[in-house]
Amino acid sequence: MQRKLLVLAAFLAININTFSQEGKLEKGKESLKSTSSLSSSGSSSTSKSSSTSKKSKKGSNKSFFGSFFGEIFIKLFAYTAYGIAIESPFETDGRMHDAEIAHYPYEKSYQGNFIYTDSINYNITRFDITNNFVIENSNLYGNNFDVDFRFLKRFSLDVSYLYLKENIAIKKDNFSLYSALLKYHRIRTQKFDTWFALGIMHVGNDVNKSGFGLGLGANWFIKKPVSLHFSHKWTSINNSEVNNTKMLLKYHLKNYHISSGYEHFKIGVTKIDAFSIGVGVSL
C-alpha cells in the first residue's frame, strides 16, 4: 500500500512539474507585458525641470557671439550628419551616385544588387521575396518570411513576418513579430552594399504591442555565385528589447537563391539561437 502511495505521489509530482514548466516563448512574452516603474525618474525629472527653468533664465543673457557660433555649430553638425547618412559632396560625381537596381544579384559575375550603367538595362523596381525555416531544437522552431520592394534606386520597403512555435510537454506556445521598415541603401557598389531603416514593429499574440523599429544590414558579393548577408532589426516593447539578427550565406542561381546560416532572436528576457535555411527569388 505504501509503495502504491509513493508511486502515485511521484506520478503526481512529475505531472505537476510538467504542467508548470515554462518555455522560452512564454517567458519572453511575459517580460514584454510588464512595464518598469518610472516614478523615480518622473520625480527626478520634475526637480530637474525646476532647475533647468532657473538656468534658462540665466541662459537668456547669452551674448550675440555665443548664439552666432552655436548656430554655425548646429549647421555644421547637420551638414556632416547628412553627408554621413545620405551622401557627401565627394560622392555626387562618383559612380555610386547613379548606381541602378540590378534585375537580380549576379546577373553578371561582377555585380550584385546594384550596377553601374548608362544604358536602360536595369530595373526601375524589384521585389525580393525570401522565406527561411528557423530551428533551435526539436521543440522550438518557426518561419521567417520577408518581402523587400526596391524603388527609386536607393529606397526599399521591407515587410516581414516572423512566427515561432514551441512545444513544452503537452503545452504549445507561439510568438509572432510583424515589421514594416523603410530602408535607405547608403552604400551601393557592385560588390558591397549597406542600408539602414526606420519603421514600426509589432508583437502579436497576447502581447499585442507595437514599437518604433530600427534596422541595418549589408550584403557582400564575394564571388559568383556566393554572397554573405547580414541584417539586424530592433524595437522596444514596454522598455524590453525585441530583435532579430541574421548572418546568412547565399548561393545564387539566376534570379533565385538558397540561403543557410545563423539567426538570433531576443524576446525580452529570452534569447534564441537558431539554424536558418531558406529560399528566395528576385522579380
* CATH code for position 217: 2.40.160.40
Of the residues 75, 94, 113, the one at which a domain ends: 94
Does residue 106 share a domain with residue 90?
Answer: no
How much is the pLDDT for 175?
97
Look up the domain containing 82 and give its range: 66-94
Strands, E assignment, 93-239: 100-101, 114-115, 126-137, 140-151, 155-168, 171-188, 192-203, 209-223, 226-237
Q: Can you list the residues of the chain whose pLDDT is less than 50?
A: 4-20, 37-45, 47-48, 54, 56-57
How much is the pLDDT for 109?
92
- Does residue 126 lie within any of the structural domains? yes
Q: Does the predicted model carry a pTM greater than 0.85? A: no
Query: How many domains, in total, are found in the chain?
Result: 2
- AA letter at 257: H
For 264, residues 6+ apart whose C-beta sits below 8 A from its C-beta are 243, 244, 245, 271, 272, 273, 274
Q: Beta strand pairing status for 209-223 and 192-203?
A: antiparallel
CB 218 within 8 A of CB 193: yes
- Does residue 36 lie within any of the structural domains? no
CB 273 within 8 A of CB 245: no
- Does residue 10 lie within any of the structural domains? no
Does residue 171 share a domain with residue 256?
Answer: yes
- What b/e readout covers 209-239, taking b as 16+ CB neighbours within 10 angstroms? bebebbbebebebeeebebebebbbbbbbbe
- Does residue 34 lie within any of the structural domains? no
By three-state DSSP, how is residue 32 classified? Answer: helix
How much is the pLDDT for 68?
65
- Does residue 147 lie within any of the structural domains? yes
- Does residue 90 lie within any of the structural domains? yes
How much is the pLDDT for 273?
98
Question: Cell 545564387 sits at which residue?
Answer: 252
Does residue 260 share a domain with residue 134?
Answer: yes
- AA letter at 214: L
Rounded-to-integer distance, Cα 211 and Cα 242, Å: 9
How much is the pLDDT for 14?
43
How much is the pLDDT for 8?
43
